[in-house]
Structure 1
């Protein structure tokens, strides 16, 4: 199985990967749709056949190799069929997260110069078609239950190389307009291969997609399915505990998404201590946000499963990944190791990257020039170091370094410690402007689920706890804010620190 997967990872294009997998295991399932009473199955052979028919329908609409097609669609079998149909044609596709609205969508359409725009119609109470018309989008068509259809005999030959830019992904744009990130088929295959080979998965595994398929994790995960020939359950609307029945029904063995997802699964497990919340589950895996060591240990101890965490970004879908055969210490305190094809260089504490999985740059050439150094390494803005075993330890982001009275303070160090406090569900540490200190340390704490009447954290209790953990006095928070829920994005539930800075910058404690 491993040799077959490594051979498939050499595919030149995503369509070649689909084609080769369909030849190997045409009748095995690849996608399982779970939406309450709606359970559908798509096989690897059905993926190839269906995508070719959709590609023919798109061809009849005027889509050609190089045509830019944007799509804003939920996590559904039809979305995967449309995306692979575009890959079959060699079109340039620009996925847009379904929760984005006029500002982000309008920006993506304008910057990508999209000639067609696929939308789900009215979805979850929002009229996406109306928004597209309002924005003056070109070539608007609905692609939810019904997709374009045609005779594959009309299709030109599939793309022969995978090094041309055929994907435009969008960064979250949390502090400014999003950036259009340029990817090739080969960069997406390289990213998915890193994930697949690190996790040591097999054909009898069952994965899950609880995140937007339009996120960079969509192709990352799908490449893994194509390499190893196993299926994944797609959740169009993910919420716990409602989704648990779907995980149990399909016998999911691998779940996850990001740190917030681990916490949600752990919270459900704590409702039923001693009984596995998903009986078949053996592995949680993901990335996209920092993972506190205490959460790693709690998941392993209480859920009885392994947790392997990785490091990736829109620009590089998979950089490093923890592996099931790593030590418990490495799994808890590092982001795993990179594959042989990924070069990591630490320059003045910053992580820089070079390799096939790295994007080709941005739509804006000025942003590309700023992002890459003179040797072609991508500047990530993340701070970290490599251990003697080649594992990567992230210590924060450049903008997350708080400078208090001239001393650098890592927000992540304080966050990791506070995650162990019993009254803390989650935490974000930020620097706020301060006339005397330059910046002051503010901890924004999300209340832990606990019994009614339990005491919530106070500044005195938090600082006392951190002192007991050995944190230096000059790093102690000077401000504490307690909230019911931290603001998060809608993809991998990453905490939006910029919103916290906006909310609390005017406060004085």
Structure 2
């Protein structure tokens, strides 16, 4: 049954814990962490009381900047039980992007770890908030971020100016379970519960406001299409900061009483080891992840016979990769989900019962409770089946809007409640959708959505850059790579490495152009508009990317 109203994320967890108290909810094999649904709910409630002790009110924005650590999952459900809105921060963000998010989102509390790979989160937040070094925890008064008062560190250190996770839990002992129950019972399913930043065509990301109804409805629909139940164990190597991880992953498990088996960061060997050790029945991933897992399986054998299903999504799914995953990884019921953050995120999905031909060649049909149509972008009129047009969706899953951006919201959702995705597609006679292109000027690299305008705005700050045009070019590994065509100011010279070095540490690594070409000008239309499709064609020819350009996707 799909709930389209009347249930919050907190209610969903209560339902799972009541129906399956002894079933495993959350497992981290490397940490020797195993929580039953009863223990998981108790742990979430302890964190929720800690949040209330920090003074966090219903509707308040709190952010989490961390890889897939256990505390992330606890925060997801604990914040929902208190009525807070969890703002998810991309783990690849550098100071330039973090500063914008903290200013725009009105976050009052930031949770963070020490960092990932070469990213030092403690150093970055201290650079942005020099006041941290001299303030008491909970008393931050940052010039750049007047709303931000609490920073909570997840880890073994005790950085100056920050609470530790354990200190927050200890403070929560002062809040009674009855106070938490009263808070949870006061919440409305139409309240915001999550905010995720998606890159914007205006050059700056937009905060997508998602409600309990949005996320719970989507999780229940996804669980139904996956045929998920308490006997399922889902390996989750996709990041929690995207809807793929925290809706199609954790929330879908709770919606069905299944077991969450996350990986803190993606590693194909660790994925296969986890599937074998934990006898996972399902595995999620973007195409790039499955490609690298298949490469590992060519060299080394792992027992993946327990696998049954999972979702491939996040970027166009190559048909040949889908077939190999079915054959080599035993994922006979693997499915594709299509959507976007603004749709919580699922819009269409193939079903486990669909023939393999349908599951590799389409992105499925509408999820339960969701309407989908294809319209002429010029007129807005629905086109006949078999004709290309813009994909539009309507239903419980459509976002509340973009935070503090009413004009952008109105541009995305029309007066009749239809979300205009900016994606082009064809719907067949049976309602199955095939993605054919994009109206939006967006690059999808390994599951990360990148708007060229954001990179262009940043590169304009380079003192030698006169003009820049960024496009996506085909890639066998990532689906697309970023390429920048740069016009330099008169008398200036530069190298691609110099431009890349300028980007390092300031924008996320996945946004740094893989290819850079210095050009005297750009192909334009009669009225002077740059023809980016011609730049893409030029790049395919000059870089010899013909094989990648020919890959068929669903």
TM-score range, shorter chain: 0.7 to 0.9
Are 1:365 and 2:360 counterparts?
no
For residue 56 of structure 1, give the secondary structure of its aligned residue in structure 2. helix
Q: Which residue of 2 aligns with 1:23?
A: 18
1:11-38 alpha-carbon deviations (Å, 9 max, x no partner): 5100011112111111211111133xx2
Q: 1:10 to 1:378 in 2, by over 3 A?
A: closer
> TM-score normalized by structure 2?
0.71
Q: Per-residue CA shift, 1:446-465, capped at 9, x if unaligned?
A: xxxxxxxxxxxxxxxxxxxx
C-alpha distance in structure 2 between counterparts of 1:427 and 1:104, whole Å: 24
Q: 8 Å contact 1:129–1:140 — kept in the other structure?
A: no
1:142 matches 2:153: yes
2:85 counterpart residue number? 92
Select the residue among 267, 281, 298 that pairs with 2:324: 298
The residue correspondences of 1:412-491 to structure 2 (distance < 5 A) are 428=480, 433-434=522-523, 439-440=533-534, 442=536, 478-481=541-544
The aligned counterpart of 1:495 is none
Where does residue 404 of structure 1 map in the other structure? none
Q: Deviations over 1:428-457 (max 9, x none)?
A: 499995479955374799xxxxxxxxxxxx
Distance 1:430 1:79, change over 3 A: closer
Correspondence for 1:170: 197
User: What does the per-residue CA deviation read over 1:374-395, in whole Å, with 9 as the maximum and x for residues that have no partner?
Assistant: 3221111100121111111111
Q: Distance in 2 between matches of 1:8 and 1:204?
A: 22
Structure 1 residue corresponding to 2:98, chosen from 101, 105, 111:
105
- For 2:294, the equivalent position in structure 1 comes to 266
Deviation at 1:125, TM superposition (A): 5.1
SS at match of 1:157: helix
Query: Which deviations, in whole Å up to 9, do the C-alpha atoms of 1:250-273 show, x marking residues without a partner?
Result: 11111122111221222223225x
Q: Following TM superposition, by how much is the alpha carbon of 1:123 offset from its aligned partner in structure 2, in angstroms? A: 4.7
Change in Cα spacing, 1:144 to 1:219, as seen in structure 2 (3 Å) is farther
Does structure 2 conserve the Cα–Cα contact (< 8 Å) formed by 1:269 and 1:277? no
Whole-Å separation in 1 of the counterparts to 2:482 and 2:113: 38
Is it true that 1:312 corresponds to 2:312 in the alignment?
A: no
* Structure 2 Cα separation of the partners of residues 215 and 48 of structure 1: 23
Residue aligning to 1:80? 73
Q: Describe the superposition over 1:262-312 as per-residue Cα deviations: whole angstroms up to 9, x where unpaired.
A: 21222223225xx56523222242311111222222322333322311102
| Counterpart for residue 512 of structure 2 | none
- From 353, 356, 365, the equivalent of 1:337 is 365
Alpha-carbon separation, structure 1, partners of 2:17 and 2:199:
34
How far apart, CA to CA, are the structure 2 residues paired with 1:23 and 1:31? 16
Change (3 A) 1:481 1:268: same
Judged with a 3 Å threshold, the aligned counterparts in structure 2 of structure 1 residues 430 and 73 are, in CA distance, closer, same or farther, namely: closer
Kept in 2: contact 1:27–1:44 (CA 8 A): yes
**Corresponding residue to 1:280 among 287, 302, 306:** 306
Which residue of structure 2 lines up, in the alignment, with residue 66 of structure 1? 59
What is the rounded CA distance, in whole Å, between the counterparts of 2:48 and 2:329 in structure 1?
43
Query: Which secondary structure state, in structure 2, belongs to the residue aligned with residue 241 of structure 1?
Result: helix
TM-score, with structure 1 as normaliser: 0.76
Distance 1:206 1:174, change over 3 A: farther
CA distance in 2, matches of 1:332, 1:206: 23
Listed as ranges, the matches of 1:114-153 within 5 Å are 114-124=107-117, 126-136=119-129, 137=145, 138=148, 139-144=150-155, 146-147=165-166, 148-149=168-169, 150-151=172-173, 152-153=176-177
Q: How many residues align?
A: 426
Question: Unaligned stretches of 5+ in structure 2?
Answer: 130-144, 157-164, 377-388, 443-473, 486-521, 550-554
Structure 2 residue matching 1:315: 3-state secondary structure:
helix
Give the superposed CA RMSD.
3.0
Cα deviations across residues 47-67 of structure 1 (Å, max 9, x unaligned)?
211111111112111111122
